[in-house]
Amino acid sequence: MPKIESLLNPSAFNLFSSKSLFNPSISSSSIFSPAPRLRRISSPSSLSIRCSATHQMEAVVDSVSPEQFRVDVLSESLPFIQKFRGKTIVVKYGGAAMKSLSLQASVVNDLVLLSCVGLRPILVHGGGPEINNWLKRLNIEVVFRDGLRVTDAETMKIVSMVLVGDVNKNLVSLINKAGASAAGLCGVDGRLLTARPAPNAAQLGFVGEVARVDPTVLQALLDKGHIPVVSSVAADESGQMYNINADTVAGELAAALGAEKLILLTDVAGILEDRDDPKSLVKQIDIKGVKKMMEEGRIGGGMIPKVNCCVRSLAQGVRTASIIDGRLEHSLLLEIMTDNGAGTMIIG
């Protein structure tokens, strides 16, 4: 039987849903098909090998019953389930995966499946596009400086309303509908996060940083089998609310919880060896290597704060941090349940 990562394409993960896992009417050939975008093809010889593997895979699919094929694939998943069972995984959700309904459903289903097989996932989210939409509806100017939202008192009220009251509860509802039990909260709840003003607060307004994390409320939810959904809003000691970068919140929570893995969903393939070559994906790199790439200017733009977030979390005890392609359906399962992953994994 071929390895699971060589068989699965995004639609293949429907196999694991309660509606399809034991449904004889769904044929194995309709669930599994070659997935070229999950592998890099660098030469004609590799293309020949890939085609040969594809034909072999199709032959295997045709030679076994749908039921046996499903069992074989689930068996291939066992080592990954054993590796991560009982481990905490922090996922930062945003970008294309938040804008597309199909990708949103993919992320939700992945979280539910991971929870069902014994992982302890936490979802951290922002909601920039939704905030912009509401600000425009209310005729409030949207202003950014150095890539950060200028957040005055009026804008902060909208940020809290959208992230805590709208985006967060919608995600909780979707997870509950998919069969798990989610609990929505922001940094204020249970004193999960204490904020402080960002260094350039005079220019940015109520944009904050994480001053302190108390993960007690998260631990209680995880121990009861819930999936915490955290919005990136928190208050300082005086009760003033701040808008905090969701990547930063995810990294700090992962560190405070001693998470096995931090995963940042992005709109790119991951870290690229050559920023102008989308095929030059770096599959795995250590802290020393990624710092060298930044010094050489090969990592730039919006990738810099994401990499810094990963490096900081690794330095505080997180085992691995991954920057993955959220444009791929079921990118979370690809990252956790296969050897190939779905982006770049940074290790300590």
List the strands of the sheet with 343-347, edge to edge. 182-186, 227-231, 120-125, 88-93, 261-266, 320-325, 343-347, 284-286
CB distance 327 to 266 below 8 Å: no
Amino acid 148: pLDDT: 77
In the block, residue with structure tokens 């196999």: 15
Which tokens in the block code for residue 238? 């005086």
Is 168 within a domain? yes
Catalytically annotated residue among 95, 126, 208, 326: 95
User: What CATH number is attached to the domain comprising 198?
Assistant: 3.40.1160.10
Is 194 within a domain? yes
CA–CA gap between residue 128 and residue 48 (Å, rounded)? 44
Is 51 within a domain? no
pLDDT tens digits, the chain, 348 residues: what are they? 444 444 444 444 444 444 444 343 434 333 333 333 333 333 333 334 344 444 555 555 567 788 888 888 788 888 898 999 999 999 999 876 778 888 889 999 999 999 999 999 999 998 888 899 999 999 998 888 866 788 999 999 999 999 999 999 999 999 999 999 999 999 999 999 999 999 988 889 999 999 999 999 999 999 999 999 999 999 999 999 999 999 999 999 999 999 999 999 988 889 998 888 888 999 999 999 999 999 988 888 778 889 999 999 999 999 999 999 988 899 999 999 988 889 999 998
306 is an active site residue: yes
Amino acid 97: pLDDT: 72
CA–CA gap between residue 220 and residue 222 (Å, rounded)? 6
Is 137 within a domain? yes
247 is an active site residue: yes
**CA-closest candidate to residue 110, choices 169, 165, 184, 174:** 174
277 is an active site residue: no
Q: Residue 213: what are its φ and ψ, rounded to 5°?
A: -125, 130
Is 271 within a domain? yes
Q: Which long-range contacts (CB under 8 A, 24 or more apart) does 316-319 make?
A: 316/255, 317/255, 317/258, 318/251, 318/254, 318/255, 318/258, 318/259, 318/260, 318/261, 318/262, 319/259, 319/260, 319/261, 319/347, 319/348
DSSP string, 177-233: HTTS-EEEEETTGGG-EEEEE-TTHHHHBSEEEEEEE-THHHHHHHHTT-EEEEESE
* Share of the chain residues as helix, strand and coil, in percent rounded to the nearest 5: 50, 20, 30
Catalytically annotated residue among 94, 127, 128, 343: 128
The domain of 192 spans 86-347
CA–CA gap between residue 245 and residue 125 (Å, rounded)? 9
Amino acid 45: pLDDT: 38
CA–CA gap between residue 322 and residue 187 (Å, rounded)? 23
Is 225 within a domain? yes
Catalytically annotated residue among 110, 127, 306, 343: 306
95 is an active site residue: yes
**How many domains in the chain?**
1
CA–CA gap between residue 331 and residue 106 (Å, rounded)? 8
Residue type, 213: V
Is 182 within a domain? yes
Is 131 within a domain? yes
Which tokens in the block code for residue 286? 């250590």
Catalytically annotated residue among 247, 261, 325, 341: 247
Amino acid 59: pLDDT: 54
283 is an active site residue: no
Amino acid 230: pLDDT: 98
Angle, vertex CA 280, rays to CA 277 and CA 285, nearest 5: 135
Q: What is the DSSP letter of 92?
A: E
CB distance 87 to 260 below 8 Å: yes
Alpha-carbon distances of 264 from 81, 118, 119, 148, rounded to whole Å:
20, 21, 17, 18
Q: Where does the chain show beta strands of DSSP type E?
A: 88-93, 120-125, 144-145, 148-149, 182-186, 193-197, 207-213, 227-231, 233-235, 241-244, 261-266, 284-286, 320-325, 343-347
CA–CA gap between residue 326 and residue 343 (Å, rounded)? 9
